[in-house]
Amino acid sequence: MGRVISATLARGLLALLIVVALGPILWTVLGAFKELRDIVTPVPKLLFEPTLDNFATILRNPTIRDGLLHSGVVVSVSVLIGAVLGIPAAHALARHAQRFGDDVQFFVLSLRFMPPVAIAIPFIVIYLDLGIYDTLFGLILVYLITTISTVIWLSVPAFERVPRDIEEAAAMEGCSPFEVFWRFSLPVAAPSLFGAIVFTFVLVWNELLLALTLAAQNATLPVVAASITSLGKEVPWGVINAATVVLVIPPLVFIGLLMGLLNTSVQSGRK
């Protein structure tokens, strides 16, 4: 009997935990479809007449539209360059660089941990002097620190998991190191590499501080979202909720991939 009660209690607690994890997000999604008078109620409303006005406001607002566009350009270009330069480098580090490989990896990973404010402050002045302050090019350039280092950091283990036999057999057949990489290692490691690229995408998409300091006018979506607290007199909670939803969708699309990445890295880490 006591077992049944404690099992039920545990179930209830876990259900509560799922609500705590997802509830805030679902509540925001609901808010995005509410009119302001349905939000400003003493008792929170679960039933209401849904409206698309908030999303319409967002898509009609030129600042937010530009923010979306800038985010798209900056994120895709910096992630693409990060992948093109980072993936071959990761392969070389995993397979060909025994002597100095550790030091290079230490350097690359240490960049991942650099406080953004330590990058932002000097780059403001340097960009002002060079005349590339407040340009998408400048923003892409600093984001390369994040994208290249993250791609390398996550791709090295992916290449280390590629069975050595395949590569050695290919080399015996007379394939050059580049052919081994391009025709054998890359396809085998591809699923994990895709996970690494997605993770990098999420990091850059979510970034605020560098975009805020280095591109005031040509800002990305997080900066625009952070600045719409006071459109007009009242706090436009419906619009803020809708903007939050737009900001949240791209990273959440990839949640399944992150789960897979986590599973493989935990398992290989314990071996």
Partner 1 sequence: MTRKIFVRLALVPAISILATLALVSIAGAIWFALMNRTLRSPEYEFVGAYNFLRLLRDSRFFNALEISALWELITVTGTLGLAVLLSVLIYETVQKPLWRNVICFAFLVPVLLPRVAAAFIWRFMYSPSLGVINYLCGLVGIGPVEFLADPSLALISVAVVDIWQWGLFFTVIVLKLMETLPRDPIEAAMLDNARRWEIHAYVTLPMLKGPLVSLALVKAVESLRSFDLIFVMTGGGPGKATETLDLYAYQMGINMGGRISYASAMSLLLLVVTTIAFTVIWKAGKKWAA
Distance CA 136, CA 143 (A): 10
Residues 91, 155: contact at Cβ < 8 Å?
A: yes
Name the residue among 151, 83, 80, 81 with its Cα closest to residue 112: 151
Q: Please, what is the minimum distance in Å from the beta carbon of residue 120 to partner 1?
A: 8
Q: Which of 74, 189, 202, 219 binds partner 1 (CB under 8 A)?
A: 202
Q: Please, what is the minimum distance in Å from the beta carbon of residue 119 to partner 1?
A: 5
Six-digit token string for 90? 């990761």
Residues 85-144 that bind partner 1 (CB under 8 A): 85-86, 88-89, 91-93, 96-97, 104, 106-111, 113-126, 128, 141-142, 144
Q: Please, what is the minimum distance in Å from the beta carbon of residue 169 to partner 1?
A: 16
The answer to whether residue 204 forms part of the interface with partner 1 (CB under 8 A) is no
Q: Which of 13, 62, 173, 174 binds partner 1 (CB under 8 A)?
A: 13
Comparison of 50 and 260: residue with beta carbon closer to partner 1: 260
Six-digit token string for 95? 């397979």
Six-digit token string for 113? 């941990």
SS3 label, residue 132: coil
Residues 154, 109: contact at Cβ < 8 Å?
A: no
Comparison of 40 and 59: residue with beta carbon closer to partner 1: 40
State which amino acid sits at residue 214.
L
Residues 37-66 that bind partner 1 (CB under 8 A): 39-44
Contact string (CB under 8 A) for partner 1, positions 214-253, x = contact = --------x--xx----------x--xx-xx--xx--xx-
Q: Please, what is the minimum distance in Å from the beta carbon of residue 62 to partner 1?
A: 20
Q: Which of 16, 22, 52, 190 binds partner 1 (CB under 8 A)?
A: 22
Residues 203, 150: contact at Cβ < 8 Å?
A: yes
Q: Please, what is the minimum distance in Å from the beta carbon of residue 49 to partner 1?
A: 18
Taking CB under 8 A as the binding criterion, the range among 4-12, 51-59, 162-170, 188-196 that sits at the site for partner 1 is 4-12
Comparison of 175 and 188: residue with beta carbon closer to partner 1: 175
Contact string (CB under 8 A) for partner 1, positions 149-188, x = contact = x--x-----------------------xxx--x-------
Total residues at interface with partner 1 (CB under 8 A): 92
Q: Please, what is the minimum distance in Å from the beta carbon of residue 56 to partner 1?
A: 19
Q: In sequence order, what E strands does the chain have?
A: none
| Complete DSSP assignment for 139-207 | HHHHHHHHHHHHHHHHHHHHHHTS-HHHHHHHHHTT--HHHIIIIIIHHHHHHHHHHHHHHHHHHHHH-
DSSP 80: H
Find tokens 């591809």 and name the residue: 190
Residues 75, 204: contact at Cβ < 8 Å?
A: yes
